[in-house]
Amino acid sequence: MMMLKDELFSIGEKLLEEFKKYVDDCALLLTSSVKHQVRFANNIITVTKTWIENTLHACVDKNNRVAVFSIPLEKALKNPELAPKMALEMLKHANPREDYAPFPEPAKELPTIEHFDKTVIEKPEKGIELVIKTIDDFKNEGIKRVAGTMRLDAISSALLTTKGAEFFDLGTQVYLDVRTFMNGEITGAFSSASSHIDSLDIKSVIDIASYLAKASTETKSIEPGKYTTIFTPMAFGALSNFIGLASSAYAVILGYSFFVNKLNQKVASDIVTILDNPHLRRGFNSTPFDLEGINTNKKPIIEKGILKNYLHNRFTAKRMNAKLTGNAGWIFPSPWQLDILPGDSTFDEMLSEVKDGILVGNCTYIRLQNYILGQFSCVIRDGVFYVKNGEIKFRVKGLRLADSFPNILSNVRLLSKDRFHMYSWWFETDLSVSSPWVLVEKANFTKAFGF
């Protein structure tokens, strides 16, 4: 079902020759994928899904103008000149990009990354078996209902550029994302992601999602205000998705970033180091090359509290007079995968540090009032507890986290030794993250009228 290296290159070379007749430069990304999903709710599998797709994605340059498009590969093969001709027709009316830069010279050598699991292709039903077992395990933990997703994707990609890149990658992506319910309001959640099924940390998903659902069933209101707050790896993973977005140089240019004019300045507490790490062994979104044909690399976004890098493609690098970072995105450069370096605490030690505070299980629906100031609020759920003198006292209702990213980052005081590699539906900029538990001082919470 899936096309592999030789077949994709053969098609790609043919298309590239055709495209060269019309455009100055181009990059072609041919993808062939077979993806599976198992969804469950109320302790039963609700639907399975399978996607079989072969697609051509392209970025073409003509007279310093740029077009991007995607079409089914089959259609491109039937009529290879149609798409570049259409792109030219559209482009002739556009102005040249003032920040135009040609595609870079291709990488001479690509990193070797372990991120392919043949079981995903050979036995996707394994996902159904794992889900059935996971539901049973949660029932045995005393959880009343579980809902979630198991995903198993296999993707082969060939990138060809007119500058001579001819790269192939075969990777797999799997994740298990679970929400636990004791009733509609008493919930927990956790997830695990990897390239390999047997590297999923299902034990932690069961342990932590069960803990968050069961830790206390007593629910009370507390006063809004500033509290010492522990974020689970899932909650901080969701928040850090916006830190990833803010690091894109294009987000900075468009005013979608709280890192505007902050390069090489202090933006977080000294213990915070966040990497863009596309080389994580068995990482969910580990990848060897970017879409302009250079190798990806591991780099700090924030290092010991200092903003070290904006992430670039050829246009943003030209505009900011910076070096390429291996993060293209034909239009929007972005991180591949966030890697938040650990600290030296355990969760229990962190909890014992909280005299009057809150534990937050998950952050969802993060929306910004002002992107440049980083002011936001989000819905907190899946285990929100009041903590007094190191002990969880009760579950809190009606609160909302309403703060700013600069405050949150600057007030990080502890990071756990343990980290968890995860991907979740609520990771709103689609980034997989390795995150520890994180303790933040003076996080601000508000409460709705009516509670």
Partner 1 sequence: MHLDIEQFFDLAEFAVNYALEQGAKWAEARLQRDYSRDIFMRNGNIDAIGFSDEFGIGIRVLVNGSLSFASTDKLDKETIKTTVKQAIKMARAFKGDVKLSEEKMWEDRIIIRPKKDPFDISEGDKISFMKQIDTIALDIFKTKKMQSIRTIGLSWWRTEKYYVNSDGAKIFQVIPRIHIFVRLVGLHMGQAEDISFSLGNAAGWEKTESKEWRILERAQEHAEAIIKILTEAKKCPEGKMDVVLGPSVSGLAAHEAAGHGYEADRIWGREGAQAGESWIRPDFIGKKVANDVVTVIDDPTLPESYGFYLYDDEGVKARPRYLIKNGVINEFLHNRESAARFGTKSTAAARASAYNREPIPRMANTFWAPGDYTFEELIEDIKFGIYIKSFGEWNIDDRRYNSIFVSKEAYLIVNGELKEPIKYAVFEITTPALYQSIDAMSKHLEFEAATCGKGDPGQGVPVFTGGPHLRLRKIVIKCR
Q: Which of residues 168-207 bind partner 1 (CB under 8 A)?
A: 177-179, 181, 184-185, 189
Count CB atoms within 10 A of the CB of residue 367: 11
- The window from 20-28, 87-95, 193-201, 277-285 that contacts partner 1 (CB under 8 A) reads 87-95
Under the binding rule (CB under 8 A), the answer on residue 103 touching partner 1 is no
- Supply φ then ψ for residue 8, to 5 degrees: -65, -40
Among 6, 20, 365, 388, binds partner 1 (CB under 8 A): 365
Output the smallest distance, CB 169 to partner 1, in A. Answer: 20
Output the smallest distance, CB 310 to partner 1, in A. Answer: 16
What is the three-class DSSP state of 310? Answer: coil
Under the binding rule (CB under 8 A), the answer on residue 145 touching partner 1 is yes
Q: Which residues of 416-449 are buried (b: 16+ CB within 10 A; e: fewer)?
A: beebbbbbbebbbbebbbbbbbbbbbbbbbebee
Degrees, nearest 5: CA angle 180-219-139: 25
Under the binding rule (CB under 8 A), the answer on residue 37 touching partner 1 is yes
Q: Looking at residues 391 to 450 of the shown chain, list those that interact with partner 1 (rule: CB under 8 A).
A: 398, 400, 402, 425-426, 446-450
Q: Looking at residues 113 to 132 of the shown chain, list those that interact with partner 1 (rule: CB under 8 A).
A: 124-125, 128-129, 132
Among 17, 53, 81, 344, binds partner 1 (CB under 8 A): 53
Under the binding rule (CB under 8 A), the answer on residue 381 touching partner 1 is yes
Q: Residue 260 or residue 415: which is nearer to partner 1 going by CB?
A: 260
Q: Residue 4 or residue 94: which is nearer to partner 1 going by CB?
A: 94
Output the smallest distance, CB 318 to partner 1, in A. Answer: 13
Measured CA to CA in angstroms, residue 197 lies from 54, 175, 212, 312 at distances of 24, 8, 24, 32
| 381 Cβ neighbours under 8 A, 6+ residues apart | 187, 189, 361, 362, 364
The CA distance from 64 to 304, in Å, is 39
The CA distance from 29 to 21, in Å, is 18
Output the smallest distance, CB 109 to partner 1, in A. Answer: 30
Among 105, 373, 388, 417, binds partner 1 (CB under 8 A): 373
- Supply φ then ψ for residue 200, to 5 degrees: -65, 135
Contact 306, 342 (CB under 8 A): no
Q: Residue 32 or residue 295: which is nearer to partner 1 going by CB?
A: 32
Under the binding rule (CB under 8 A), the answer on residue 270 touching partner 1 is no
Output the smallest distance, CB 145 to partner 1, in A. Answer: 7
Under the binding rule (CB under 8 A), the answer on residue 67 touching partner 1 is yes
Under the binding rule (CB under 8 A), the answer on residue 47 touching partner 1 is yes
DSSP string, 132-199: HHHHHHHHHTT-SEEEEEEEEEEEEEEEEETTS-EEEEEEEEEEEEEEEESSSSSEEEEEEEESSGGG
Output the smallest distance, CB 351 to partner 1, in A. Answer: 25
